[in-house]
Amino acid sequence: MNLLIIGAPGSGKGTISNNLIKDYDITHVSTGDMLRQAIAQNSPVGLRAAEYMNQGQLVPDSIIHDIIVERLSMDDIKKGFLFDGYPRTVDQAIDLSSILEQLHMKIDAVLELEIDDEILKKRITGRRLCPTCGEIYNIYSKPTKVEDICDKCGGKLITRKDDSLENLTVRLDEYHRNTQPVIEYYEKMDLVKKIDADKSADAVYDDIKSVLEGLK
Ligand code: AP5
């Protein structure tokens, strides 16, 4: 199964992806995670990406094209993929269509997480991440048992550099201007499944599982 998950910053893409990849045995491809890894490694791509990401702006399509082509050439993609946070512009979506055509692959569904911008403030400013195992927490909706320590692996939690209210305004603006047209692109292909993301994380995930059962 090949899926895309699209939604505003903080809508729950990463949280849902962590469950989906385990339950459906598909490969998680998060361009955000890949870019953050490149930044941590101080690679040329990372250095360029940081200029944009630290301000909440989208990274140029040319950089994204290169990392996606490289990622799609890896073997684990063959068992099925979940793209999280990609494509984010109509040009990226057109590019992806042409890359997938060359690889004789297709997208089965696009999960669109619908949520009001106002709710995202608490989700973004309250988010804490475990850099060791990737678990995602929230000081309001999913606190750890011991403050700033991962329940799963004992790692010290971090806050993402771009998770400020100031940055959220820019990220939301980027989302509405550049990424919502991507949903219209996939609506024309009848691939979009709309999901109400203003529910508990478990309830959202149950809705997604029902949608995916319907695809089988
Ligand atoms: P990226 O890493 O993709 O971030 P994003 O889209 O801003 O989304 P987030 O990771 O912030 O949120 P999420 O939807 O995954 O929510 P989460 O599950 O963590 O991109 C970062 C940057 O990289 C971009 O700004 C851009 O610069 C660059 N970039 C990446 N891809 C790019 C591309 N293709 N093109 C160009 N640039 C690109 O949840 C958030 C919080 O809410 C957590 O604390 C969680 O515990 C909590 N939560 C989740 N679900 C619920 C729920 N149902 N109820 C209550 N709380 C919940």
C-beta 31 within 6 A of ligand 1: yes
Ligand 1 atom closest to 32 (CA)? 2
H or E segment to which residue 179 belongs: none
Of 48, 122, 160, 199, catalytic: 160
Q: Backbone phi, then psi, for 160, in 5-degree steps?
A: -70, 140
CA of 152 to the centre of ligand 1 (A): 21
pLDDT at 216: 73
pLDDT tens string 77-94: 999 999 999 999 999 999
Q: What torsion, rounded to 10 degrees, do the Cα atoms 54, 81, 78, 76 define?
A: 50
On whether the pTM is more than 0.85, the answer is yes
Measured CA to CA, the distance from residue 27 to residue 76 in angstroms comes to 6
C-beta 201 within 6 A of ligand 1: yes
171 is catalytic: yes
Name the nearest CA neighbour of 30 among 164, 129, 98.
Answer: 129
pLDDT exceeds 80 at position 112:
yes
Compute the mean pLDDT over every residue in the chain, rounded to the nearest whole number.
96
Bridge partners, 136 (sequence order): 129
Name the nearest CA neighbour of 5 among 173, 205, 213.
Answer: 205
pLDDT band per the 50, 70, 90 thresholds, residue 162? very high
pLDDT at 104: 94
Other Cβ atoms less than 10 A from the Cβ of 209: the count is 14
Ligand 1 atom closest to 138 (CA)? 44
Of 13, 36, 123, 128, catalytic: 13
